[in-house]
Chain A
Amino acid sequence: MKIAVCIKRVPDMETRFKIAASGTAVDAAGLKYDMSDFDGYAVETALQLNEKQGPGETVVISLGPDVVQEQLRKALSMGADRAVQLKADRVPADGLAIARALAAELQGGGYDLILFGRQAVDSANATVGPMTAELLGLPCATAVSTLEIANGRATARRDLEGAAEIVEFPLPAVVSVDEGMPRARYPSLKGIMAAKKKPLEVKPAQLGDEHITIEKLELPPERAAGRIVGEGAAAVPELVRLLHTEAKVL
């Protein structure tokens, strides 16, 4: 199958973020970056599908400045065949603009399957995948935790709150993947060497108009210190009363 995987470069989520002087972005000083976790699942899904189903092609696509090539090469070192950077001086806050650029690249590419992570772990909008599907006029299944492909049709499971939904749809299609799909493999050292020789094409991103801008970023409020209501068994009635009347969890 010809599979495209759209990936995003995101800061390491273990970081203690600071807000930059602009007030609209995180301070990039000292940040480490990686491929968004869910996008890693998507790359792994594509690689395993093509490994299982015989000859195919896995193409990874990322939008942004030249630094995104690092994540594209990571996907190549995992085993993707080629990469495309849709070059832009920054990643827009407007998911629709990104989806337009991706759709322009994917349109006419002959892809059987277009994979996304469920959401980027930094902005967490979960919009670009479905918007791209809409622009391409393709069926879309979001946040799938299993995916089976046979005879040009796909069956996927979506884990919902308290239930699971099994959906079926024809290919070509857009699928965003959730946990439950295989975790990204470690890029092997040979893979890292091989990635240097794989094609990485750079094209201008056709973003179009942007309608969403970030006005302001704020850190969440500091958590208030805990309260000790007493010690030993004697404190239990008071604790239960507070959990009931104040915290309202009982």
Chain B
Amino acid sequence: MQDFFDIDSALSEEERAVRASVRQFVDERIIPVIGDCYIEGRFPKEIVPGLAELGVFGANLPEEYGCAGLNNVSYGLIMQELERGDSGIRSFASVQGALVMYPIFAFGSDEQKKHYLPKMAAGEIIGCFGLTEPDFGSNPSGMISMAKEQTDGSWVLNGAKMWITNGSQAKVAIVWAKTNGDKSDKSIRGFIVPTDTPGFTAKDQKGKLSLRASDTSELVFQDVHLPKDAILPKSGGIKSPLMCLTQARYGISWGVIGAAMACYEEALAYSTSRVMFDKPIAGFQLQQQRLAVMLTEIVKAQLVSLHLGRLKDAGKLTPQQVSLAKRNNCDIASNVAREARRLLGANGILAEYASMRHMANLESVYTYEGTHDIHTLILGQAVTGLSAFN
């Protein structure tokens, strides 16, 4: 879309080059197929090798692990472009990079990093992240999955996880569980669980009306025996998975801007060509207001995420700042998508147009990785010092 606020002038040539490359890939390889994938309820796994070759997985992790070593603004721009295609594609990349590669990078041993990260960057190993449970969504500290250490140092894992993106296609799962019967959230540790381990099952969650081009699964662990070195040695307490979520939420704050951009562009193009009452509908005040509000909200969200990225690159970012960006940007993107769909009239309900697909996707994105409401409470706590959670 038109760079109305000249935000490009705040990006480096390298950041613009990264965006251009991913943008071209999304335009040529994702957008032409994604509408059909959505209708079929199918993740387009044929694009994974291309995404890996491009280098999008864990792109902000160091080159020594086969990653691109980009800064966080570039990483954000990648998420924006992927979600301009579809939230399901961005979710796939977010999970692979921020929720599986990042915890291995941050909490893993040298052996784990050397074994997994290059193969994950190359798309040879797909990962998923198991934190949320059927009865513990917004309150992950209450989880009941439990890992018990055996006398030989190995582990036995029991429990279940739900709403797990990539669950059925993953070769490896990062599973968060309490340990050794301790029910406090301080006992939570991360485990690298190969999905072919006996006792591990993943089942697709059926009937989704959102993120249809993405796999969402339920994971069950029944006496899953894991070797000693399955544990992420530097993980400890609920803080560890929350650090992963901060990474992913950062990417989401950028990603949803892409979805909003796609809807705005579609609405603008449609409004200038669709003729009603003998003139393009773009000439009517009601549609102009829609477009003006969409444009304004997108520009604001872009500035929020760009500044957040600069803070992250400077090592100054706080999780609460990420909450503000995730909360705001998901909210505005949802509204932009809905208004775009409405501007498109009856055509707007067709999969041939992207707006309703984005609108439905964004309901998930609004809800996952900390719901809008939970981020409201995080901000409330940050400014008042009073927790409204319990």
Which A residues fall within an 8 A CB radius of B?
A: 30, 34, 70, 73-74, 77, 186-193, 196
Contacts and interface: CB of A to CB of B under 8 A. Distances in A.
14 contacts: A73-B17, A186-B25, A188-B53, A188-B54, A188-B55, A189-B22, A189-B54, A190-B68, A191-B55, A192-B70, A193-B14, A193-B63, A193-B69, A193-B70
B24 interface: yes
B5 to A, nearest CB: 12
A94 B277 CA distance: 50
A196 B70 CA distance: 12
A204 B24 CA distance: 33
B7 to A, nearest CB: 13
Contacts of B54: 186, 188-189
Contact of A193 (B3, B25, B68): B68
A200 to B, nearest CB: 12
Contact of A73 (B13, B24, B63, B78): B13
Given A73-B13, A189-B22, 5 more contacts: A30-B3, A73-B17, A186-B21, A192-B14, A192-B68
A75 B20 CA distance: 13
A13 to B, nearest CB: 14
B25 A192 contact: no
Contact of B24 (A70, A77, A186, A193): A186
A190 B17 contact: no
B18 interface: yes
Interface string B46-59: 00000001111001
B285 interface: no
B240 to A, nearest CB: 27
B290 to A, nearest CB: 22
Nearest to B15: A192
A188 B13 contact: no
B390 interface: no
Interface in B3-54: 3, 13-14, 17-18, 20-22, 24-25, 53-54
Contacts of A70: 13, 17
A188 B63 CA distance: 13
B2 interface: yes
A30 B9 CA distance: 11
B365 to A, nearest CB: 24
